[in-house]
Copies of this chain bind each other. A is one copy, B any other.
Amino acid sequence: MPTDMSLTSDDAEKFLLAAKRAEIQALERLVGSCELVTTVSDLVHQLQRERGISNIYLVSAGFRFSGQRQQQVRNCAASEAAFRRLLHHRYLQSTRSDSPQNMRLLNSIAYSLHGLDELANLRRHVDAFEVSALESTDAFCRLIAGLLSVVFEAADVADDPEVTRLLVALFNFMQAKEFSGQERAWGAIGFAGSRFDEKLHGRLAQLQDCQRRSLELFAEFAGETELARWRAVEDCQESRDLQRLRGVIAGLKDDEPIAAEISEVWYELATARIDAMHRLEDAMAARLLQVSRQRVAESQSELGHHYAQLQRMKSTGWTRPPALAVLFDPEVPGLYGSTPDTMVTPLPGQHLAHSLYDLIRSQVAHIHRVSEELEQTRRALTERKRVERAKGILMRRLRLTEEDAYRTMQTRAMEMNLKLADVAEKILQIGSGERSASDGVSDSASSTSEKQTVEAGKAGA
């Protein structure tokens, strides 16, 4: 009977090792994403500072913060240069160009770079007082939203469960910080115009609500260390003072005279909180790098262990116990119904792999554990994306504001006793039905703007 033994050889072994090497490569790419996220976190922080300073510069007609602004523009330029250097080194150098990257991550980078390229133009407008504080803030917000979407994509394409959890926690924390920055900006605009009308009160309340929601997601995915540090930030004197000041502002009537000191206290307290958040952000970014590098090291050591085991099996001195093969393993279901009475029982714990089959089985178990954990974490991301997309559809179709669209979905969820993600799912189903009924051109245009709403929505509300 012809069996081509020269072909069988050690293929299974080669693929076992190739699978492990594929894991190592994926984890190395992930380390790259984490390094990128770290520089993005710094750049976002610098841009948030420049936004706040530019605001005061514009509102004071250039009398205040002129020097600080020049210094902060230099800080931003340094941070931007570091970001671009990393991008060149990591993604554009010819030696690395063969290693495939993720399209979505790269495109979100293109989007952010395009925004950064416009920054010089924005600054010229600020120099010449050609933009209002509101317009300038708006532009900075768009730029920051693009950068936050890089972090979101990095989290969404990560394939290690713990790193994904940390990235999701960091992304939501960065969002909360951005909402804090926007709250500070609206407060500053209110003080500058001495106007706290109903609309402004509503916006401040909603931005505080957005922070709460983002921080809830952060808390869901963060580790104990980060949570403890965050509680310490929340419990400090500045946070309690800020909370009290929020109450005072919420009580202000429109056109009510406001003591000048309150404006400065507001800016200082909000800034202190944002800076405290940035320190925690830095700590999270450092842990992210540490954990992702550790994953690579672990995976490399597992590969070394595989090699050692295979070596040992081949060495003549090694007394090999009879190897169980997959085709005759009673634990592996074969013909349907062939073993209805002999039930599957767990193997006793084996500390040594006795055969190639054991190595393959342990790798199957490893992949199974990782995939299952990853799926649990990703579900939260998927549900979030669904909610954002459904919100975009409601905004477009019913001409609602972002907050109203969100409230509509929340109300529906409560009425129907469903999860928010399930309501979103229903909206998306209706939405996609309507969309495919429209013609190709307007279809593509509408989904462009929808995506933008979603993209920016990640950071914008």
Contacts and interface: CB of A to CB of B under 8 A. Distances in A.
Contact of A118 (B74, B127, B325, B363): B325
B110 A451 contact: no
A267 to B, nearest CB: 17
A110 B449 contact: no
A368 B447 contact: yes
Contacts of A186: 335-337
Copies of this polypeptide in the complex: 2
B111 A326 contact: yes
Interface in A85-106: 87-88, 91-92, 98-104, 106
Interface string A102-138: 1110110111011111111111100100000010011
Given A2-B73, A77-B4, A100-B25, A203 B117 contact: no
Contacts of A396: 344, 346
A141 interface: yes
Contact of A182 (B2, B331, B336, B395): B336
A139 B327 contact: yes
Q: Interface of chain A, helix or strand or loop or mixed?
A: helix
A59 interface: no
A117 B137 CA distance: 66
Interface residues of A, number: 143
B142 A107 contact: no
Contacts of A140: 327, 334
A394 to B, nearest CB: 11
A206 B349 contact: no
Given A327-B142, A349-B444, A389-B372, A451 B365 contact: yes
Interface of A: 1-5, 7-8, 11-16, 18-20, 22-23, 25-26, 29, 70, 73-74, 77, 80-81, 84, 87-88, 91-92, 98-104, 106-107, 109-111, 113-124, 127, 134, 137-143, 145-146, 179, 182, 185-186, 199, 202-203, 206-207, 210, 325-329, 331-340, 343-351, 356-357, 360-365, 367-369, 371-372, 375, 382, 385, 389, 395-396, 399, 401-403, 432, 441-442, 444-457, 460-461
Given A15-B87, A16-B107, A331-B452, 6 more contacts: A1-B70, A138-B338, A206-B336, A334-B460, A346-B396, A348-B445
24 contacts: A1-B124, A1-B127, A11-B117, A19-B103, A22-B106, A23-B103, A98-B99, A99-B100, A107-B364, A110-B360, A119-B327, A142-B334, A145-B332, A182-B335, A199-B337, A206-B337, A332-B452, A333-B402, A344-B452, A346-B449, A361-B452, A362-B444, A365-B444, A365-B448
